[in-house]
Amino acid sequence: MEIKVVKDILGANDRIARKNRQLFDGNKVFVVNVMASPGAGKTSVIMETIKRLKGKTGVGVVEGDISSSLDAEAISKEDVPVVQINTGGECHLDANMTAIALGDLPLKDIDLLLIENVGNLVCPAEFALGEDIKVLISSTPEGDDKPFKYPLMFHEADVVLINKIDLLPYLKFDVDAFSKTIQGINRKVKIFPVSCTTGQGIEAWVSWLLERMGKS
Amino acid sequence: MHELAITQSMLDLVLKQAGEAEAGKVGKISLVIGEMTGVVPRSVGFYFEFLAKGTPAEGAALNFKVIPATARCRDCAKEFELGEFDWTCPHCQSNNIEIIGGKELFVESIEVE
């Protein structure tokens, strides 16, 4: 006997993500899912963002890594609540791991929750966490051909931060062509060229974020 | 890489459907996978073999329908498959395109006994 199913394989994850979203909305927390390949600058962007938001808005961080708590320790120096999730081998965060971590965060004191996903350009795009926006960090040394190699990630992103633009003089990275490629398939995307080393562009990104949160 | 989690979710969904139909055994599972998801059918098959062990889906045949990454041009309205390193419309060269296929990831049907 054949049974027609036609159900999304990740439907169970999506249901938990919707529950997370309800919890976030109930506590008025704006949630950003930060995704990138390893070494693109996720932790650096989060640190720079926290520095500029201190005193303006309550920030919390979830750190997702396969193992170690190095990033969480670095971020806890900024004196914001941070929870580490070690996925134990899984290459992405999922809605359930996020739900468990939320129990350890003072959501009532948090306006902005930055969730650092596992460094990976494939899998995190599939797994909703309950976020308001997806931010993809793509750094210039990775090359400007990345959208062609990881189309889903670039298609799903609400924001692309082109990080390490201070290195542009040494690299063959065409910012205009790169941006045009992404905008071609993704009409909603906002693109900000930034450098966490020089601070260039960070202000523009943070201002946009505050405006998106309805806080400017 | 993500195939382990995806295969487990797929198996959970299949077993639930089979349970609702009071089926003793799942003979075949038909899956639809979009090219853009990066899900590798062979990997799914590999994980399925050991995840399904001891369940009613053990030994089930997996049938994959892979959907290519397809776009519609917003300027000339023609549809085309995305090139590997070229995302412009082959008919009018516009880069203003909309993805219409290739993101699928679902169980289409199962055969049970």
* Sheet of B97-101, strands arranged across: B79-81, B70-73, B97-101
CA distances for B43 relative to A139, B27, B66, angstroms: 29, 19, 14
User: HEC states along chain A?
Assistant: CEEEEEEECCHHHHHHHHHHHHHHHHCCCEEEEEEECCCCCHHHHHHHHHHHHCCCCCEEEEEEECCCCHHHHHHHCCCCCEEEEECCCCCCCCHHHHHHHHCCCCHHHCCEEEEECCCCCCHHHHCCCCCCEEEEEEEHHHCCCHHHHCHHHHHHCCEEEEECHHHHHHCCCCHHHHHHHHHHHCCCCEEEECCCCCCCCHHHHHHHHHHHCCCC
CA distances from B18 to A4, A34, B62, B102 (A): 11, 37, 15, 27
Q: How many Å lie between the alpha carbon of B104 and the closest alpha carbon of chain A?
A: 8
**Nearest residue of A to residue B113 by CA position?**
A1
| Nearest CB partner across the interface for A152, out of B12, B36, B88 | B36
| Listed residue (B62, B33, B38, B32) closest to B49, CA to CA | B62
What's residue A90's pLDDT?
A: 85
Q: Which residue of B has its CA nearest to A94?
A: B5
Which residues on chain A are in Cβ contact (under 8 Å) with B96?
A: 184
Q: Inspect the interface and report whether the beta carbons of B105 and A126 lie closer than 8 Å.
A: yes
The rounded distance, in Å, linking the Cα atoms of A149 and A121 is 9
Residues of chain B with pLDDT under 50: none
**How remote is the C-alpha of A161 from its chain's centroid?**
10
**pTM score above 0.90:** yes
CA distance A113 to A49: 11
The pLDDT assigned to B1 comes to 67
Domain boundaries along the sequence of chain B:
3-112
Q: Which residue of A has its CA nearest to B102?
A: A152
- DSSP string for B82-102: PPSS--S-TTT----EEEEES
Q: Domain B3-112 class? A: alpha beta
| Mutation for testing the B interface, residue in A1, A3, A150 having most B CBs under 10 Å | A3
With 0-12 / 13-18 / 19 or more C-beta atoms within 10 angstroms meaning exposed / middle / buried, residue B17 is buried
Cα separation, A34 vs B75, in Å, equals: 32
- Tell me which DSSP letter residue B68 carries: P
pLDDT at residue number B16: 97
Query: What ipTM goes with this model?
Result: 0.89
Cα dihedral A124, A127, A133, A139, rounded to 10, equals 10
Residues on chain B touching A152 (C-beta within 8 angstroms):
36-38, 103
Would you write out chain A's pLDDT as a tens digit for each of its 216 residues?
999 999 999 999 999 999 999 999 999 999 999 999 999 999 999 999 999 998 889 999 999 988 888 888 888 888 999 999 998 888 899 999 999 999 999 999 999 999 999 999 998 999 999 999 999 999 999 999 999 999 999 999 999 999 999 999 999 999 999 999 999 999 999 999 999 999 999 999 999 999 999 976
The distance from CA A173 to its chain's CA centroid, rounded to whole angstroms, is: 22
**Chain-chain contact of A9 with B2 (C-beta, under 8 angstroms):** no
CATH (residue range A11-211): 3.40.50.300
B84 interface with A at CB cutoff 8 Å = yes
A146 token code pair: 């990345």
